[in-house]
Amino acid sequence: MKKNSFLYGTLVLIFVNFVVRFLGFAYRIILSRMIGPEAIGIFHLVFPILMVMITFTSAGIPVAVSKLVAHFSSLDNKAGCKKVLGISMVIGLAISAVLSILLYFNAQFIAEKLIKNIDIQPSLMALIPAITLITLSSIMRGYYYGIKSVGPPGTSQILEQIFRIAFVIGILLILPPLVPKYASVIAILGISVGEFTGLLWLLMRFGDFKTSYIKRTYLQFKNPSSDILSKIIYISIPITITRMISVVMQSINAALIPQRLMHAGFSMQEAVAIFGKLSGMAMPLLFLPFIVTSALVVNIIPSVAEEVALKNWHQLSLKSNIAIRMTLLVAIPITALLIFFASPICNFLYQHADVGEYLSLLGYATVFLSLQHVLSGILHGMGKQVITTVNYLCGMLLQILCTYYLVPHPSFGVKGFIIGFILSTVTISLLNYIALNHYIKLKPKIVNDIGKPVFSTAIMILILLNLYELLLKFAISPNAALILSVLSGILAYMISIFSTGCINHRTLQFIIRKK
């Protein structure tokens, strides 16, 4: 398999995503035990502020870098690649410097007036170095993805997690027990330590290959800097707006859902508890397919940009169809698993089987959420980021309307939000598909791409249900029965996928051969 092939890059990033998420999951458990719930609470009060800050620098700019670098790389314009990176780094540094200064002088105001918790002020100050480090790391990763070098950014992400975990746990073990507001500061500083390590690795790797990869000078590149700057701005602004809408929507939901539930007759405590189960327990499980789709999106943007630059529409269509097929192969079985095994899964993870009531309904959105993610990535690679932003706005408007009007109704309650969430994901994914099909004429194979995965998923669920019930009859614990059943079901699904010819030897050879 070629190291610059589409499949190779995707598989590497899937592995990286899995390792990073596993380390992050373990770290959250260890951290919560070491610093306690109050310090964790302070951390989670501060962390959304960091997310808002870095949205301005790490949402759209890295995508623009990846797309433009892939474009110039496909034309063998190495100087153009370097110029895109240089200009983007300057933009990122300038914006992150402004954001850092604003945070420094307004930390007390944010703590006292907005969050109304003065204990978070030290943690807010500790965020400042992370803003610049995350910005530069994101831009460097975008550059590597653009030249189809997934190894350095993948390694940097793993190094970030390892050094972050080692720093925080090491400091907490060395120091005497800290009061919550300072324990949270250590956890926040760990973000900067991890990002610094990852950025250092990326810069070291850049030094290793720059002499061999970039041989031309700026004088050999005809496009002026202003042209590149305008392209970066044109690509990054719509994507940044989309990400900002997503962040704002989280805040709106956090305020709106409990309020509308109270209108339906729930007490404040009941409304907050329902929202916690919905957003903190059920919703994160919907993003399980993102281990695969995130890798696809990161890899598909430069790959699509390259084909657009070469006007290779046939290859663009093939790669888009492959990405959609891979998404469906992963998302369809996970969707069914969340629908049919919601309660056992929630009992296993949270000791709250009642959360399964929400998860079983939200599960219907999983496949559409995954398609929305991948289709947006393909459109971004084609330079159609304005379209994806408009489509996303349409979906979010629908979700807000359902939340506002349905949640207060006693017969709907929180299910009103779930209905809106499902409708919004279906709407966005459908609009993205229509837009993409307008430009490249997708040729889906309904039987192979949808029918066979659905058939294989049905076999998986039948085996899961019967084996789970059988194991419970033999007095095996529910958690052990769930694990054994899921593993058996996954194996059955994979066997069925290959047996039905959904994925065969010729298909694998075709995908592996493609760059």
> Is the pTM value of this prediction over 0.95?
no
Residue 166 binned pLDDT confidence (cut-offs 50, 70, 90): very high
Domain range spanning residue 211? 1-223
Domain membership of residue 233 (yes or no) is: no
pLDDT at 84 over 70: yes
pLDDT at 218 (0 to 100): 43
pLDDT at 217 over 90: no
Task: Using a pLDDT cut of 90, give the percent of the chain over it.
Answer: 34
494/502 Cα distance (integer angstroms): 10
Q: Which of 406, 424, 444 is the last residue of a domain?
A: 444
Residues 305 and 244 in one domain: yes
pLDDT at 215 over 50: no
17/226 Cα distance (integer angstroms): 36
Residues 397 and 458 in one domain: no
Q: Is 409 helix (H, G, I), strand (E, B) or coil?
A: coil
358/272 Cα distance (integer angstroms): 15
Q: What is the DSSP string of 132-160?
A: HHHHHHHHHHHHHHHTT--HHHHHHHHHH
Q: Which of 444, 472, 492 is the last residue of a domain?
A: 444
- Total number of domains in the chain: 3
DSSP 218: G
Residues 356 and 453 in one domain: no
Residues 349 and 382 in one domain: yes
Quick: pLDDT tens for 45-60. Answer: 788 888 888 888 888 8
pLDDT at 308 (0 to 100): 79
Average pLDDT over residues 424-429: 95
Quick: pLDDT tens for 232-277. Answer: 888 888 888 888 888 777 777 767 787 888 887 888 777 777 777 7
Task: Using a pLDDT cut of 70, give the percent of the chain over it.
Answer: 91
500/515 Cα distance (integer angstroms): 27
163/167 Cα distance (integer angstroms): 6
